[in-house]
């Protein structure tokens, strides 16, 4: 019997319910204002610069020079960043615990600020159960850049076709498949469990 595939997880949207609007809704009186701020000031593209290695204090200071009237809200994105987390996705954590108990190696490739990555270790105990993690902010490259998948495989001595990559972002899934990995587009823990079972991983049905 062939070895089961090695699961390689994304974190945000798979293990963790992350959405900047959770914070912005506390900073503005209306949903419209919160959404406008997210689409025009503290945008996902801006956040990606931290995922690519920028330092929060510097990125925040730069953005405030462009939008000084929003200095409080922009600064809150750094100081109150943990309020962008809605909670942990327990169903995925359960799957991961089962894989770990079955002695299946597990890994993660995450678009994540290196500063915030270090700050969540005490809060997210599932992180220390991985056999290795590639954090985009430390590598200064972000998914879906093919190079981050290649770096992952080289660092941990894995062939792409021995891995199954799990992400909630379709672009990242397409890139992983192009690189030669099996890939699952994450929609829910229930669907993920069924797909991993179909790949032969030892999970309860």
Residues 108, 174 within the same domain: yes
Strands 182-185 and 132-135: unpaired
Residues 191, 116 within the same domain: yes
CATH number of 180's domain: 3.40.50.1000
Q: Which domain holds residue 68?
A: 19-84
* pLDDT exceeds 80 at position 1: no
Which among 84, 99, 132 is the end of a domain?
84
Q: Is 40 inside a domain boundary? A: yes
Residues 144, 64 within the same domain: no
d(CA 167, CA 150): 16
Distance of CA 173 to the CA centre of its chain: 13
Q: How many domains does the chain have?
A: 2
Residues 192, 96 within the same domain: yes
Tokens 């792409």, located at residue:
160
Q: Is 204 inside a domain boundary? A: no
Model confidence over 74-112: pLDDT tens digits? 999 999 999 999 999 999 999 999 999 999 999 999 999
Residues 132, 37 within the same domain: no
Model confidence over 135-149: pLDDT tens digits? 999 999 999 999 999
Which among 84, 101, 128 is the end of a domain?
84
185 class by beta-carbon count within 10 Å (0-12 exposed, 13-18 middle, 19+ buried): middle
Residues 62, 158 within the same domain: no
Q: Which two tokens stand for residue 201?
A: 């991983």
d(CA 159, CA 153): 6
Residues 80, 151 within the same domain: no
Q: Per-residue b/e over 75-91, b at no fewer than 16 CB within 10 Å? A: bbbbeebebbbeeebee
Model confidence over 42-83: pLDDT tens digits? 999 999 999 999 999 999 999 999 999 999 999 999 999 999
d(CA 135, CA 71): 28
């Amino acid at each position: 019997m062939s070895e089961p595939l090695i699961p390689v997880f994304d974190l945000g949207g798979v293990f963790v319910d992350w959405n900047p609007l959770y914070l912005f809704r506390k900073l503005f009186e209306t949903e419209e204002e919160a959404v406008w701020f997210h689409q025009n000031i503290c945008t996902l593209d801006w956040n990606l610069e931290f995922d690519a290695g920028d330092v929060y204090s510097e990125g925040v200071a730069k953005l405030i020079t462009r939008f000084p009237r929003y200095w409080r809200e922009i600064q809150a994105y750094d100081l109150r960043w943990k309020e962008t987390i809605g909670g942990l996705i327990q169903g995925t954590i359960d799957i991961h615990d089962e894989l770990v108990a079955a002695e299946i190696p597990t890994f993660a490739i995450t678009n994540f600020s290196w500063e915030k990555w270090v700050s969540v270790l005490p809060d997210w105990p599932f992180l220390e159960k991985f056999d290795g993690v590639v954090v985009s902010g430390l590598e200064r490259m972000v998914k879906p850049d093919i190079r981050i998948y290649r770096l992952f495989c080289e660092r941990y001595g894995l062939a792409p076709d021995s891995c199954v990559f799990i992400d909630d972002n379709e672009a990242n899934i397409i890139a992983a498949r192009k690189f030669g990995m099996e890939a699952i587009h994450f929609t829910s823990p229930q669907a993920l469990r069924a797909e991993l079972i179909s790949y032969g991983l030892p999970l309860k049905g």
